[in-house]
Amino acid sequence: MKPRNPSLLAAGLLILILGIALFTFARRNQPPVQIFPATINRDCAPWDGPAFTVSIPYTSGSFINISIWQSPDLRLPTTFSFPDDTMRVGNATYLLRFGYSVQLTGKVFFRRVDMESPVEGEFDLVTEAGQRLKGKFKAEWDIQPVYCG
């Protein structure tokens, strides 16, 4: 039984090394994700509760709007999925030129949200037609008074 243990250990080590190598090479060939400048504003949820909206200029004349229907004080990294089953998290839309908007599905990640510093995050969203919108953003606060209710 002892002669088998070294060969199993060597095979396991070889598989681990190959897995790490494949993972590393696959990540090297991916193009870097674009970082978009954005703005973030306080907003109102549909039921007049606190909310915030991130507006990301995506292409010439088009914007991604991500509305989160809760207070802008996320202290921990948080991911939101759209659409959500409860319809109480928020929404994500793609505003095209000429005022046409498209509902988006996918995920949005926020590192942290507070009104004292810029907000950084990532998005991986898809239009109804299958167009993928992916990138990172750094949003500066645009302080404007908001009156809900």
Helix (H) or strand (E) holding 32: none
Cα torsion angle, 133, 137, 140, 145, sign: positive
Q: Which residue has the tokens 């659409």?
A: 83
Q: Closest Cα to residue 119, out of 59, 21, 40?
A: 40
Domain ranges of the chain: 1-30, 35-141
Q: Is the peptide bond before 72 cis (omega within 30 degrees of 0)?
A: no
Q: How far apart are the first and last CA of the chain?
A: 75
Per-residue pLDDT of the chain (149 residues), as tens digits, is 455 677 777 777 778 777 776 766 665 555 567 889 999 999 999 988 899 999 999 988 899 999 999 999 999 999 999 988 787 899 999 998 877 899 999 999 999 999 899 999 999 999 999 999 999 999 999 988 778 76
What distances in angstroms separate CA 138 from CA 59, 85, 121, one per listed residue? 16, 28, 7
Q: How far apart are CA 62 and CA 95, in angstroms?
A: 5
